[in-house]
Amino acid sequence: MTTPLPVETSRLAARHIRQLEEWWRVHRTAAPNAVREEVERAMQLIAFQPRIGQRATDVELANVRRIHLSRIWHYLYYRINDSPEQIELLALWSESRGEGPPIQSPTRPPQA
């Protein structure tokens, strides 16, 4: 792929990113911008190589992929939409929670 796909962020993903950034700045003062840096790096990567992430099997919604952000110990969940062709960020979720994020089908609204 030579042209990057646009990347849109869902409200749920934006909330997850914001909450983690706030926590990280207080508790990880040696790298206060790590969350933003890692999310931006991942967004650039998946914009050019959208199928690089592994298929997420821990969510209800179909065709979801995730990419591991090892520096911040989280997965960035996303899907590739066809019309319009774009990447949709769905969630930023800790690998230590033991279950996937509350990503559900469009008929059921996402929960916090």
User: 2-40, pLDDT tens digit by residue?
Assistant: 789 999 999 999 999 999 999 999 999 999 999 999 999
87 domain-assigned: yes
Average pLDDT of the residues of the chain? 88
Two tokens at 54?
């592994």
In a domain, 101, yes or no: no
Q: Is the pTM of this model over 0.85?
A: yes
Task: State the residue range of the domain holding 39.
Answer: 7-94
Q: Does 109 fall in a domain?
A: no
Query: Is position 12 within any domain?
Result: yes
Number of domains observed in the structure of the chain? 1
Contacts with 40 (C-beta within 8 Å, 6 or more apart), sequence order: none
Query: What's the CATH code of the domain at 45?
Result: 3.30.2310.20
Q: Is residue 36 included in any domain, yes or no? A: yes
